[in-house]
Amino acid sequence: MNLFDRVYAIVRTVPYGKVVTYGQIALCLGNPKLSRQVGWALHANKTMIVVPCHRVVDRNGHLAGAFAFGDGVQAQLLTNEGIRVVNNHVDLSIYQHHFTSDTRIQRI
């Protein structure tokens, strides 16, 4: 299975109204150093309708740049899910999704 497909599979598990970090996904892939490839996978993602890549943010809760979705689009999508987005930033302590058992616990 491709790295990309694994990334998509993980991202699809993120529930409505929650977000995850690239590092978390990388950790689920087995190597926390893969965070860049995670972002790259999402960049190459053509099925953004199926894969909720707007729920993926960086370690600080900052949204992706405008180049990825279009200016303000990701913020709007997250807002529609009930997530408070301020200045392209979300509060991870509230909205970060906690992966279950089979995945390692992410740093807080």
Partner DNA sequence: TTCATGACTAATT
Partner DNA sequence: AAATTAGCCATGA
- Which positions lie near DNA, rule CB under 7 A? 2-4, 21-23, 31, 33-40, 42-43, 45, 48, 53-54, 56, 58-60, 64-65, 67-69, 74, 107
Closest distance of CB 6 from DNA, Å:
9
53 is annotated as an active-site residue = yes
Which residue, 40 or 81, has its beta carbon nearer to DNA?
A: 40
Which residue, 48 or 97, has its beta carbon nearer to DNA?
A: 48
Which residue, 28 or 35, has its beta carbon nearer to DNA?
A: 35
Total Cβ atoms within 10 A of residue 27: 22
> Residue 13 region, left (φ>0) first, then alpha (ψ -120 to 50), else beta?
alpha
What are 20's strand-pairing partners? Answer: 56
Task: Exactly one of 26, 28, 53, 78 is catalytic; name it.
Answer: 53
Find, among 71, 74, 106, 76, the residue nearest to 92 by Cα.
106
Residue whose token pair is 């053509």: 46
| Residues carrying an active site annotation | 53
